[in-house]
Amino acid sequence: MYQYNEQDQTLIEERVTQFRGQTQRFLNGELGPDEFRSLRLMNGLYVQTHAPMLRVAVPYGLLASKQLRMLAKVARDYDKGYCHFTTRQNVQYNWPALETVPDLLSELATVQMHAIQTSGNCLRNTTSDHLAGICVDEIEDPRPYCEIIRQWTTLHPEFAFLPRKFKIAVSGSEHDRAAVQLHDIGVYLVKNASGEIGFRVLAGGGLGRTPIIGQTVKPFLEKKHLLSYLEAILRVYNLLGRRDNKYKARIKILVKETGLEKFTALVEEEWLRIRDNMLLDEDRIQSMKAHFTPPNYDPSAASDTSFAGHLAADESFSKWVKYNTVEHKVAGYRAVFVSLKAPDSPPGDITADQLDALADIADQYSFGEIRSTHRQNLVLADIKFADLYALWQKLDALKLATPNIGTVTDMICCPGLDFCSLANAGSIGIAKEINAALDDMDYIHDIGDIKINMSGCMNGCAHQSVGHIGILGVDKKGEEWYQITLGGSSENEAAIGDRLGPSVAKDQITSAITSILDVYVQQRLEDEAFLQTVNRVGLEPFREKVYANH
């Protein structure tokens, strides 16, 4: 894992000192709310329905156990004993008191954590594949490139006031687990015909009120040009992106309005001007890779026999292994998902006690590291076969072993009306209701891979437009209603879902979802996943059932 150097540490400490002064001047009345607004946003602090909300960066979703312990301490000392993992692998606190935020940030800085560039119209945290470095389908580990990008984006003077926020995602695998095509810039590590590894670069993806899939601007970019190419895209966007209308200010609108061909030509022109002065040399890449070398795997891990015995003897354990663990590239190891989707807790939330216990578990079983996923779960990446049974028992006791990863109850959900001042409708309560209606694990496992994404308004923080089932909160004369879409995906075959029909009332949304699942069960062919059935039969059978009942 990359360790911050002295320069990084100084930077985040100086930022805390600066923010302490700004907060003090605001509290003394020397700064007005408008003046303070941009200063607090530069430090991840939003003002929400009940209290300020603080977003803490988790670079490409990688956390050390000491950072987990600090997140727990902050949750206990400054919040209500819990925090929330977000759709961009970050952490949010919903209840810190404004006057305590400088102290909170100062504690986070002791473990190299901060909230810089987690809000505002700047380059945000770069996200990546939560199985980076360990998965079997990897072309190359994306994390060194994420870290190179993190360093380049941090306080980049030219891109501090972009037309809108800007998000980059990088994946190194054949299977896209990082929603790369829905980012302002998406980067895939790819191999060309002569076996050389480089990048495919996409631009213009994004969610929100106008969801658009990113398009390829550079099919193959040599590694040495990574930063110059990203810089060229950012320059074109910074210059030409619309600043007159915030709904048209994201790069997706620029690419759409300019046309891919012309946009690419503008980028190439800029790139030719700067590329020779911005080469990423091989030494830098190699020295960054040295921060992400594989841990000390046990060569005898594959000879374990206890795991097979437990699998055969304990059905609950074997179900958990099937749903919440995945293959690891090293024999004798698996990667484990820690489900933050227990039926009775808001998706993505975790308590301070759970965080502390997980930090101990990470130290004991997984080289002291944990990762966050964009579907609001956690991953212990390196678990030996021999440890899986004991680990499962511990996670189960912590309510972190619901065997539902990738199933219908593994929902992505935004804070909605419970916390967000922009919300039209609640989402956490609906997630709870859907969970209550789907309380039969055998049924959940039988219907398999179904991704429900639910946002409380069309800002789309919970990616509803790319959910297999998307649920969007809308306001109808002051009442909470829900618009349903079907057929979206954020993986390799990324797609924006289609609207099922008119929105449904709050007391009907759960039965609408269960009706959709019933239709799938009736219509599916053998071994056909939900998304395939939707794509094959179209929306009509779902429409008939949902609107017949309502």
Binding residue for ligand SF4, selected from 106, 216, 238, 459, defined by CB under 6 A: 459
Binding of residue 180 to ligand HEM (CB under 6 A): no
Binding residue for ligand SF4, selected from 411, 414, 469, 486, defined by CB under 6 A: 414
Distance (Å, whole) CA 367 – CA 387: 13
| Rg (alpha carbons) of the chain, rounded to whole number | 23
Binding of residue 424 to ligand HEM (CB under 6 A): no
Closest Cα to residue 356, out of 146, 131, 70, 120?
70
Structure tokens belonging to residue 370: 């944990």
Binding of residue 346 to ligand HEM (CB under 6 A): no
Binding residue for ligand SF4, selected from 86, 351, 455, 483, defined by CB under 6 A: 455
CB neighbours of residue 483 within 10 Å: 21
Judged by CB under 6 A, the number of residues near ligand SF4 is 12
DSSP letters for 123-152: B---EE-TTTTT-TTBSS-SHHHHHHHHHH
Distance (Å, whole) CA 467 – CA 413: 11
The entry of ligand HEM, ligand SF4, none near residue 457 (CB within 5 to 8 angstroms by kind) is ligand SF4
Torsion of CA 415, 416, 421, 422, to 10 degrees: 120
The entry of ligand HEM, ligand SF4, none near residue 90 (CB within 5 to 8 angstroms by kind) is ligand HEM
Q: How far is the CB of 528 from ligand HEM (least distance, A)?
A: 29
Question: What is the contact mask toward ligand SF4 in residues 356 to 395, using x (rule: CB under 6 A)?
Answer: ----------------------------------------
Judged by DSSP in three states, 98 sits in helix
Judged by CB under 6 A, the number of residues near ligand HEM is 22
Of 60 and 419, CB closest to ligand HEM: 419
Binding residue for ligand HEM, selected from 53, 64, 189, 212, defined by CB under 6 A: 53
Binding of residue 464 to ligand HEM (CB under 6 A): no
Binding of residue 347 to ligand SF4 (CB under 6 A): no
Q: How many degrees, rounded to 5, is the angle at CA 46 between CA 79 and CA 462?
A: 90
With contacts defined by CB under 6 A, name the span among 155-163, 170-178, 388-396, 417-425 that binds ligand HEM. Answer: 417-425
Binding of residue 208 to ligand SF4 (CB under 6 A): no
* H-helix or E-strand spanning residue 474: strand 469-476
CA neighbours closer than 13 Å in the CB half-sphere of residue 67: 23
Contact predicate 134/77, CB 8 Å: no
Q: How far is the CB of 529 from ligand HEM (least distance, A)?
A: 24
Q: How far is the CB of 117 from ligand SF4 (least distance, A)?
A: 18
Binding of residue 16 to ligand SF4 (CB under 6 A): no
Binding of residue 489 to ligand HEM (CB under 6 A): no
Q: How far is the CB of 116 from ligand HEM (least distance, A)?
A: 13
Distance (Å, whole) CA 244 – CA 239: 13
CA neighbours closer than 13 Å in the CB half-sphere of residue 70: 20
Binding of residue 419 to ligand HEM (CB under 6 A): yes
Q: How far is the CB of 124 from ligand HEM (least distance, A)?
A: 6
Contact predicate 153/117, CB 8 Å: yes
Binding of residue 109 to ligand HEM (CB under 6 A): no
Distance (Å, whole) CA 469 – CA 409: 12
Residues of span 472-511 touching ligand SF4 by CB under 6 A: none
Binding of residue 422 to ligand SF4 (CB under 6 A): yes
Distance (Å, whole) CA 150 – CA 148: 5
* H-helix or E-strand spanning residue 523: helix 509-523
The entry of ligand HEM, ligand SF4, none near residue 416 (CB within 5 to 8 angstroms by kind) is ligand SF4
DSSP H helices, 398-453, are 416-419, 428-437, 441-447
Can you give the binding site for ligand HEM, defined by CB under 6 A? Answer: 46, 48, 53, 55, 86-88, 90, 92, 167, 206-208, 414-415, 419-420, 422, 459-461, 463
Residue ranges binding ligand SF4 (CB under 6 A): 414-416, 420, 422-423, 455-457, 459-461
